[in-house]
Structure formats: structure tokens, C-alpha cells
Structure 1
């Protein structure tokens, strides 16, 4: 097999660059997000609380140093008492994840960890409900039918929290896999 003449190779590289197949970023300057601690941070640790603009800004970062600083600033912006050594918002967030994993997760095959369930997501986003009405044997459903599957109604009252409303979860088949039936949360 013969090598391409230098002029043709240069022309092909120039054409590829022009149509966007290569980026004008040195290989050492761009660190992939795949399989990094920051991919985990974005897709799991803060998946339910990061805003769309923040997510876009994070994905545009090129290096792990930039991502590390972004994550630090992310938590600094949420710290209710920045003059204290502990970031209470961060501690509460990870406490909610741990609770969701212990309360809503399952080790049975095919079941997601608690943070990935719909109840886990709501709990992580909004915290514990002010009122929890559980109907493990069904009964009159939120839509008015008798003999409904098990369901729970979580109520968040306005006040100290930034969100209020109600979330109704239904467990079709009674297997412990609650799904959001209706949500009226406001932010």
C-alpha cells in the first residue's frame, strides 16, 4: 500500500478541519467527560437539582480543573450560611440521596437504586413531605375509584421551603414500585 503524497494528505486534513471533523483544540487541553468523576457528579450526584443553564455551562467545560471549580461554585451558590465551615445545602442533599437509597431502593433484580425511583427523585428535589398519607392496601383512589392499587399522597406546604404542592404516587400491582400519578409542585 502506498502512502498519500504530502500535498493530498494536507488537503484532506484541511478539508476535514473545514467541515468540522477535527477541532482546533490541542489534545492535552480537552479532557473527555466520559467515565470521569465529573460525569458521575452530573448524571447522579446533582442530576435532579442542577438547572438547564448550569448543565449546559458544565458540559461546555474542557478540563477537569474547570469542572472541579464549577462543582465547588455550584455548592457555594447554594450554601445558606457561607460564613460557616459546613455547607448545609450540600450535606442535606447527600443526606436525601442516602435516605432515598435506603427507603425507596431495592436489591431485588431489576429494581433501581432508590435515588433513581420516582419517589427518590421527588424526595431528593423537595425533601421530606410535610404530610404523608399512605394507603398500602389501596382503597378509594385519588381519581375516585374503589379497590385502587396502593398509593401515597405527599403534601408540601408553603412556608419555609421554596416549593409547595402535592404529589400522588400509585403502586400498580403492589410490588413497591411507586410511580407519580399527579404532581402539582410549584417552585
Structure 2
């Protein structure tokens, strides 16, 4: 690889959203509605896209202003309320609490923690049982951060169980999900393979 290779790879990763978590069939850029203000334009990026149906994603992406987006978010959480007969929404409360924690713990390089790969996994599944580190499989590469949930982890906010472990690697200024190689592929749900 020539000297411009690593820079080109980094630029491709940034253009692809740093490998951020998103709906499996959509890139980070495809989950942003530029017609909306900063509170709503990237609302789907990260864990929210894993909770939303394809129809909900399409609906938010067609909205024209923040008033419509605010109404959408309220309808979204009403629909995704596990206890509609009781006051409050425990799913929304936990989602918002974890999102705020993810922003504090995992924000880097101008990317909100909730939109990062680690933040998405944290928002969906909470803290892992254990965090380990592994030597990089690439000579002189950064170490991998390994989140271990184990096989007995409870279901997350998306109703699915997490993978037993997730590996993350620092790629430039951003920590991304490690998929056996540094790649611009979007985050994939447990059990799905990246396209070849």
C-alpha cells in the first residue's frame, strides 16, 4: 500500500459514517434527514434505527420540519411503549438514559457517543459483563477492545440478545466495530455477515 493508502482508507470510513451502527440496509448518510434541524436530522443514526421499523425510518426521512419530527418521535415512543396502560415509557426512559451516558463515555472526533459503534451497542444492551483487550492481529496495529456479554446475556432494548462479544478497534480518531479487518461496512446485527 502506498503512503496515501491509509489516508484514503480513513476518508472512505468517514464518508461511510465510520462504520457506525445503523439499519442494516442503510448507511449512516442514508439515515440523516437534512431537511430537519440538529435535534432531529440524525435521530435515526445509532440504536434508534435498530428499534425502528423500515416504515418508521422511511417516514422520518420524508419529514419536512422539526415540528413534524417532534410529533413523529412522540408517536414512535407511544408505539414502542411496553407498558401503555401505565404512566411513562420505561423503554424510552432507559434509551434516553443510556444515550446520555453513551454521549459522555464514547463521543470522539465530533461524533456523539450514541451514534458511535460502542455507543450503539451500549444503548441497546447496556454495559458488558467484562471489557478485555487483545493484541492487534495487524502488526503495529492498535489493540482491540473486547466487550464480553457472554451467552447468557438478557435481551436488549431491541428485544434481541447481544452477540457474546464485540471487538472494537481505534481507526484514526474513531473507535469502530472490528469485523476481522478495518472496513467501511456498516454495523451489522448479531448473526449477519458483511457483504463480500
Please state which band the TM-score falls in when normalised by the shorter chain.
0.5 to 0.7
Distance in 2, matches of 1:164 and 1:45, equals 13
Normalising by structure 2, what TM-score? 0.56
Distance in 1, matches of 2:37 and 2:189, equals 36
The alpha-carbon deviation at position 146 of structure 1 amounts to: 8.1
The alpha-carbon deviation at position 93 of structure 1 amounts to: 0.7
Change (3 A) 1:112 1:44: same
How many pairs were matched up? 145
The answer to whether structure 1 residue 178 and structure 2 residue 183 are counterparts is: no
Alignment of 1:70-109 (within 5 A): 70-106=72-108
2:125 corresponding residue in structure 1: 126
Does the CA-based 8 Å contact 1:169-1:179 persist in structure 2?
yes
Distance in 1, matches of 2:43 and 2:178, equals 29
Does the CA-based 8 Å contact 1:79-1:87 persist in structure 2?
yes
For residue 74 of structure 1, give the secondary structure of its aligned residue in structure 2: helix
Higher RCO (CA 8 Å, separation ≥ 6 residues): 2
Normalising by structure 1, what TM-score? 0.58
Q: Find the structure with the greater CA-based Rg.
A: 1
Q: CA RMSD in A?
A: 3.6
For residue 128 of structure 1, give the secondary structure of its aligned residue in structure 2: coil
Does the CA-based 8 Å contact 1:151-1:178 persist in structure 2?
no
CA offsets 1:85-143 (integer angstroms, 9 cap, x no match): 1211111111111111111125xxx44332233211222233322x22322xx54x4x5
Distance in 2, matches of 1:36 and 1:147, equals 38
Change (3 A) 1:74 1:186: farther
Unaligned ranges ≥5, structure 2: 1-33, 180-187
- Is the helix fraction higher in 1 or 2? 1
Alignment of 1:130-169 (within 5 A): 131-135=129-133, 138-139=134-135, 141=136, 143=137, 149-156=142-149, 157-158=151-152, 160-161=154-155, 162-165=160-163, 166-169=165-168
Alignment of 1:3-22 (within 5 A): none
Distance in 1, matches of 2:55 and 2:120, equals 20
